[in-house]
Structure 1
Amino acid sequence: MRRKIVAVDMDDTICHLVKRAIYHNNIEFPTHPLSYEEMMDWNTDHLRHPASTQEVFFGRPGLYEELELYDEHVVGEMEKLHREYDVIIVTAARPNSVAEKWNWLQRHMPFIPFDNFFACKRKSLIDFDLLIDDGPHNLLPALEAGKKALCIPHPWNLRMRESHPFPLMESWENAKQRVDELLGSLD
């Protein structure tokens, strides 16, 4: 019998990218500081300094290897999910960040094999039963395709959450239980 596939995003789902990118932005452009709460969209309108482009904000060398875990529960819960499901990491990545993301994943979650690591921005191209993500551009297509989804709430998905009743996962605590419930796989 085929194991169910749980697709998990990396950035701002199992680790904190935007908060770290803001940290570096505010050091490099102190006259144009940003805050997490201001990040209401995926576009670059929030980048106030003319030299702070999306490439500068998300493309700093080494950025993806220094990200903090989402919370203290994420590693244990991901390991539990890995034991029962085919957990795949599906992450949008610039070519220069793929190795950094893989290094981060191996440092924090070495139980995820390379075969289960996908650099892919359009996650609707990947087969899965459930998606854990923060991106509206990934969550909506998953639901439209009849798949299950868990939304990691952030300011940039607030508008979508107001119009679509996504199940939310504000912490990784008891994530395995939430996934079991959604996929009908209770022990």
Structure 2
Amino acid sequence: MERCPLNIFTRRCTVLQRRSWKEDWPHMKIIGVDLDSTLNNLDAVWLERYNKDYGDNLTKADMISWDVTHYVKPECGKKMYDYLREPGFFRNLGIQPHAAEVMSFLHEYFEVYIVSSSHPNVVADKWAWVEKHLPFIDYHHFVPLHHKHRFEMDYLIDDGPHNFDRFKGTGILIDMPYNQHLRSKYKRCTDWLDVKDYFQTLIRKEERW
């Protein structure tokens, strides 16, 4: 009988270990993942639209607090939020570097939900974005929700500092200029590869048990 190459055997063993680890864990850990500026590139496109429409040169680095109206021109003000209610706006956003591959990795080991504060006008567009960029996430795991602390999760990956105020799980903060005041209160990740490193460490600890 022809022997299987070692690398094929190793890959098969790895898949079996992943399935066993996930299926045998009696209480699978739940990860909630924010969508806007965490998975997609809302921050870049939003500012690009504003700068074009109002003749400004505002950058993400300029915004050191959450309320964007503090930084836009007075004639824009709260109209800045009209972009976020515009049909089709969210559907056409890009994805953050390495986000898709890391989300696929997390999906192998955890129960992963997309948890996003959404105006009713754009819920369908956000789901269309998830279908396009993260096709392994089914609609049962897409949750439009403003008060994220009310959704029971073990981990929350988010850029919005206010989303951690009443969250009882472990917060994974995506590094942004407007959340620097939280300093080291939560695990801070600079990018999606950093997120993967954090969870890989947790998985190794579990597998040693």
- Per the TM superposition, whether the score is higher than 0.5 is yes
Question: Equivalent residue for 2:106?
Answer: 81
Q: Distance in 1 between matches of 2:84 and 2:63?
A: 13
2:170 pairs with 1:148: yes
Q: What TM-score does the superposition give when structure 1 sets the normalisation length? A: 0.87
**Kept after mapping to 1: 8 A contact 2:37/2:43:** yes
Question: Equivalent residue for 1:137?
Answer: 162
Give the deviation of 1:38 after TM superposition.
Answer: 1.4
- What is the aligned-residue identity percentage? 28
Larger Rg: 2
Give the gaps of 5 or more residues in structure 2.
1-25
Structure 1 stretch 35-44 or stretch 123-132: which is displaced more? 35-44
For 1:36, the aligned partner's letter is: K
SS in 2 for 1:79: helix
Structure 1 pair 115/37, CA: closer, same or farther in 2 (3 Å)? same
Give the deviation of 1:82 after TM superposition.
Answer: 0.8
SS in 1 for 2:32: strand
Deviation digits for residues 108-161 of structure 1 (CA, Å, limit 9, x no counterpart): 00100100000111110000001110011112322xx2x112110111111222
Q: Distance in 1 between matches of 2:74 and 2:85?
A: 16
2:195 pairs with 1:175: yes
Structure 1 pair 154/4, CA: closer, same or farther in 2 (3 Å)? same
Structure 1 stretch 5-14 or stretch 152-161: which is displaced more? 152-161
**Kept after mapping to 1: 8 A contact 2:50/2:80:** no
2:37 pairs with 1:12: yes
2:145 pairs with 1:157: no
Q: Distance in 1 between matches of 2:192 and 2:123?
A: 24
Question: Equivalent residue for 2:65?
Answer: 41
Flag the structure with higher helix content.
2
Match of 2:76 among 32, 48, 51: 51
Structure 1 pair 139/179, CA: closer, same or farther in 2 (3 Å)? farther
**Kept after mapping to 1: 8 A contact 2:173/2:187:** yes
2:69 pairs with 1:64: no
Give the deviation of 1:49 after TM superposition.
Answer: 4.0
SS in 2 for 1:150: strand
